[in-house]
Amino acid sequence: MEFAPLILASTAKHLQLLFESEDDLNQSESILQLEQAVAQAVLHLLQQDLNRLLNILYRVDVDERQVKQAMKAATQEEVALQVARLIIKRELQKAQTRFIYRYN
C-alpha cells in the first residue's frame, strides 16, 4: 500500500520521537524501509527494555490482542517485525486522521 509522502514523513517523525532512536527514521523513503528500521528498534527493546516497549505500545494505542498474537511468533526477529507493523499501521491511521482534519 502506498501512502502520501507527507503522511509517511509525519509517521516517521513521530516514531523517531517515540523510540528516541539514533537511527534517522525520517530518512525512510518507503513503508518497507520504515518497517525495517522500526523492527530493529523493537528488537532492541525486546532484548533490552521490555517495559519501555510496552509503554510505547500503550502510548501508540496498539490493540492488545494483536500484540499478544504477534508475541506468539517463533523468533524474536519475527515478533519484532510483526510488532513494528502494528505500530506503523496505528501511527499511519493517526497521521491520516490528523491530515484529514487539518486540511478540511
Mean pLDDT of the chain: 88
Q: Could you write out the DSSP letters of every residue in 53-66?
A: HHHHHHHHT--HHH
Count the Cβ atoms, other than its own, within 10 Å of residue 21: 16
Q: How many domains does the chain have?
A: 1
Tens digits of residue pLDDT in 26-70: 677 788 989 999 999 999 999 999 999 999 999 999 999 999 999
Which has more pLDDT, 62 or 95? Answer: 62
Q: How far apart are the first and last CA of the chain?
A: 24
What is the number of alpha carbons within 13 Å of residue 83 lying toward its C-beta?
28
Question: Could you tell me the residue range of the domain that residue 61 belongs to?
Answer: 5-102
pLDDT at res. 10: 82
Torsion angles phi and psi, residue 94, rounded to 5? -65, -40
68's grid cell: 499478544
Closest CA to 31 of 6, 57, 1, 56: 1
pTM: 0.88
Of residues 79, 12, 87, the one with CA closest to residue 43: 79
